[in-house]
Amino acid sequence: MNLLKWYREMLLIRVFEESVGKLFTQGLAPGTSHLSIGQEACAVGAVSVLDSTDQVFSTHRGHGHFLAKGGDPMMLMAEILGRSGGYGNGFGGSQHTSYPTIGFNGTNG
């Protein structure tokens, strides 16, 4: 077991989600977002038992799963903000994030 690694991943997800929430509250992010605050351990726990070749699909609250699977937080934030540096060049937004290279095949929303 790697408890410290899991804790760091959960903390990253929590801080990321809180940041996204603030941006939406301030009107700085387009569209809508469904946060997974309080569900960080679910994402980290589920992904921690997967092999690197396993594929993941997530729900509309998929930021945590995406980050736990190895997604880059800066690129995910760019996607959420509708910027070209995101995984879908800003077109997928918060609820339709996908990055097959890391085995994350999308969220529904």
Mean pLDDT of 89-107: 88
**Buried/exposed code over 48-71 (b: 16+ C-beta within 10 A; e: otherwise):** eeeeeeeebebeebbbbbbbbbeb
What local confidence, expressed as pLDDT, does residue 32 receive? 85
Distances (CA, A) of 87 to 52, 72, 75, 90: 19, 9, 6, 7
Q: Which domain holds residue 73?
A: 3-107
Amino acid letter at 31?
Answer: G
Using the predicted structure, report yes or no on whether residue 109 has a pLDDT greater than 80. Answer: no
DSSP type of residue 2: -
| pTM given for the model | 0.92
pLDDT tens column, 44-90: 999 999 998 999 999 989 999 999 999 999 999 999 999 999 988 88
Do the Cβ atoms of 13 and 36 come closer than 8 Å?
Answer: yes
CA separation for the pair 69, 5 (Å, rounded): 13
Q: State the total domains in the chain.
A: 1
pLDDT tens column, 19-43: 999 999 999 988 888 999 999 999 9
What band does 106 get if pLDDT is binned at 50, 70 and 90?
Answer: confident
pLDDT tens column, 1-19: 699 999 999 999 999 999 9
More confident residue, 44 or 97: 44
